[in-house]
Amino acid sequence: MFPSVPPTTDQHQFRNQKISTRLFIVILLLSLTILLLYNSLVSITKEIIVNTPMIDEYSQLYVEHARTLTCPCTKISVDHHIFIDLTYTFHQVCHSAFVTSHWLDYLNAAWGSRRLNENDFRIISISHFQFLSALCELANRTISDSLIEFYSTQYVAMTLTPRHLFEVQMDSSIDQYILSTTNSFLLSMRIVREIAYGNSFLSTRFTNGYFLVKDYNDWVRTVGKEYENCSCDSGYDCRTALSIYNRLVTGILFTVPGIYQGCYIVESLLDSTLECFYNQSCFDQLIIALNVSWTLNVSILNVSLPSRFLVKSTVKAMVDGLMVEKWNRSLVFEKYYDACQPTECRYTITSRNDVLYIVTTLLGLVGGLVSGLQVMIPRIVAFVYYIIRQRMRVSPQ
């Protein structure tokens, strides 16, 4: 393979040519084997680009290439109202006759011009149900106003968020919205209550106290009322059961289960339950005791309706839940996808070289490898042989 030109008869050169040929074949085969193994075993990474994918195509790509799939959004910020629909259902009392003027008119008719005990249900309950109606209305207004702000909040993402992660994030955002709205509502109520208690305002129904006037020395002072040996002078959480009396002071006709009277209408209502208004027998007894000349046509609260509250849950428990029975949330990922408008999706795949690529690569390298070996091997062999000869000459001396 490495003949001299012109052909030589020198045995040393002839031997060098034979050694070079054998060494060339060994190195060439070894190099080809290494290149073949390398190109067969090495893993290569390819980036695949899919232009303007439809959502079904994206879903399939995500199933197959979730770890590497990225889809840049054309629009990186999207309003919540585009893909979130959040509705709510109030406790049934907020939709009942007991928060309407019809029921209040009935209670007013029960009071009328009669001289009643100041602690009579017919007097106190009017304020109770007015405040209950106000709570429902305030909760509704609070949620409506906060929903406007929540819907206008933008979800920002540079790339399309996968469906499962998107749903987790949005559920978390909704939970945070409900919590912050509830806390804001309760904070407003607590501020109003603390202002009233801190300034010791006298209730319009005189439920927490009354004026004591001494004409002879011309002075006036307030005296706290007492409920079951608890004085409103020392606290605002005193309470007693609310009843209907047949005379000014004594003679109880009917004690309404779960309804309380206390120092402040707000506190006594929050401590009360609506259990009597779930029970037809109890409600019938209440109507009889009220003794109004005209017939009241209302339905009691439906105990069979599914509820997260118990029949004996206090109004405070309902207020702590924003009077909401159930939140209904709807997340539409498809609408988010359309708003994101990904123009392309990229993913990478890792694979081994195919046979055609390996053969083509080897063929491309063989020519250069052969040329390089043909140049280098004879010179290396000649150089090694020269070194050996030099050492052989030096050794006898």
User: Residue 391: which H helix or E strand, with range?
Assistant: helix 355-394
Tokens matching residue 271: 């401590």
Residue 71 near residue 345, CB atoms below 8 Å: yes
Beta bridge partners of 132: none
pTM score above 0.85: no
Confidence of residue 376 (pLDDT cuts 50, 70, 90): confident
Give the pLDDT confidence score for residue 94 in this predicted structure: 96
Beta bridge partners of 261: 240
Give the pLDDT confidence score for residue 354 in this predicted structure: 72
- Read off the pLDDT of each residue in 62-78 and give the average, rounded to a whole number: 94
Mean pLDDT check: name the lowest of 179-193, 272-286, 326-340. 179-193
Q: Other CB atoms closer than 10 Å to residue 123's CB: what's the count?
A: 19
C-alpha distances out from residue 112 to 104, 109, 265, 294, Å: 12, 5, 21, 13
Give the pLDDT confidence score for residue 198 in this predicted structure: 58
Does residue 249 have a pLDDT over 80? no
The tens digit of pLDDT for each residue in 194-217 reads 776 655 555 555 565 455 555 555
Residue 48 near residue 68, CB atoms below 8 Å: no
